[in-house]
Amino acid sequence: MAMTTLPLPERCRRLALVGLTLGLALMPGAAAAEPFRLIVTHLEPPLVPNSVMDLALELGYFEREGVEVELVRVQQTPSALAALQAGQGEMANIGVDALLLRHAQGDDSLVAVGSPNTSLPFLIAARDDFGSVAKLAGASFGVGRLGSLDHSLSTRVLSSLGADPDAMEIVALGQPAVRAQALAAGRIDATTVSIGVWLSLPDKTGMEVLVDPDAYFAAAPVVNKVNVVPRTVLEDRRDEVEAVTAALVAVSRDFAADPDLWIEAMAPYGGELGPEDFGTLADAFAGAWMVNGGLDAQALAFTGDWLAGTEDFADAEMPTLDQWVDFSAVDAVLDRLGTAPGGDEPNR
């Protein structure tokens, strides 16, 4: 095959362009071209509004905002924090209690920048021979881990409804799906799970809901989870933080406006759920989509005050709201997209 030799000036020009391209790729600032890694604490899209993080990637919302996102999957907040600290991600969805505990211990390197799902639709399920929470004395109660937010929230809910958590055996079991399976197998007497996990159980024989999601939230109206970033990421990759936030706001608004879009996207992950179950979930999530970024200063302040009174924060110096929350990324997104009616009014 004949080869074409370019004139020397043209070869030099092309080599210079190649060299410039390689040089730019190797510059320190080129790291911003790497994927923006979002650490999530579930192994597949969950049957709760937190699924917007998975679905924003799957449905192309991140791409539309011009940011390449990679999901890093771990189990539970401690693993997410460890991954973030090890440089394995730029943003993580974690429990508010863990973030505040870090600040209380003197580490203020992480700040909350948004929340795709502030309060998970929890319920308390139990064996059906109890009948009420007041009869759970002596029962075994499954939690994620001792001192976890689901543990603290459930303690508050149980106490407010006439039960004595101190009279129960608290069993640390991990993820909600694992706790639900333990309940179904008779290994524990009661536990807290999301409504999605409850509906996904193929056989609920011998079990019942003692506290439904509305009653649970009424007893413990606190912010459960937030998306956090290191301050260095907010400084160095702010455009991507805002783009990720904008994508999550956009997908949340679309699901709030048309729940069938969420049902269709989640169908492959619904297991045994039928149309009626998905309809129940969609109804339960009607006001739960974070259409304004999920940062309500009043709700966040209430959550901090409540956590200050829990055992994990005994004698701790609690951070002020402006020390652990940065509203600037969400506010920049809302300046561009405008605010929307919903359950997460952007109070400041």
Q: Return the HEC string of 185-221.
A: CCCCCEEEEEHHHHHHCCCCCCEEEEECHHHHHHHCC
pLDDT at 6 > cutoff 80: no
Q: Return the HEC string of 68-113.
A: CEEEEECCCHHHHHHHHHCCCCCEEEEEHHHHHHHHHCCCCCEEEE
Dihedral of the alpha carbons of 313, 314, 320, 326, in degrees to the nearest 10: -10
How far, in Å, CA of 252 to CA of 35, rounded?
Answer: 22
Residue entry with tokens 């455009």: 239
How far, in Å, CA of 58 to CA of 221, rounded?
Answer: 31
- Does 122-219 match 34-119+223-337 at the fold level? yes
User: How do the domains of the chain map onto residue ranges?
Assistant: 34-119+223-337, 122-219
CA terminus-to-terminus distance, the chain? 70
Percent of the chain whose pLDDT exceeds 70? 91
Listed residue (224, 210, 227) closest to 306, CA to CA = 224
Indicate the pLDDT class of residue 166, thresholds 50, 70 and 90. very high
Determine the pLDDT at residue 292: 97
CA distances from 112 to 67, 115, 200 (A): 20, 8, 31
The CATH homologous superfamily of the domain defined by 122-219 = Periplasmic binding protein-like II (3.40.190.10)
Determine the pLDDT at residue 102: 95
Q: Which residues pair with 228 in a beta bridge?
A: 92, 112
Return the ∠ at Cα 304 (arms to 311 and 177), rounded to 5°: 70
Indicate the pLDDT class of residue 149, thresholds 50, 70 and 90. confident
Q: Which residues pair with 142 in a beta bridge?
A: 171, 191
131: left (phi over 0), alpha (psi -120 to 50) or beta: left
Tell me the fold of 34-119+223-337: D-Maltodextrin-Binding Protein; domain 2 (3.40.190)
pLDDT at 203 > cutoff 60: yes
Determine the pLDDT at residue 16: 39
> pLDDT of 178-198, one tens digit each?
999 999 999 999 999 989 889
DSSP 8-state symbol, 121: -
CB 149 within 8 A of CB 180: no
> pLDDT of 32-76, one tens digit each?
469 999 999 999 999 999 999 999 999 999 999 999 999 999 988
> pLDDT of 322-335, one tens digit each?
999 999 999 999 99
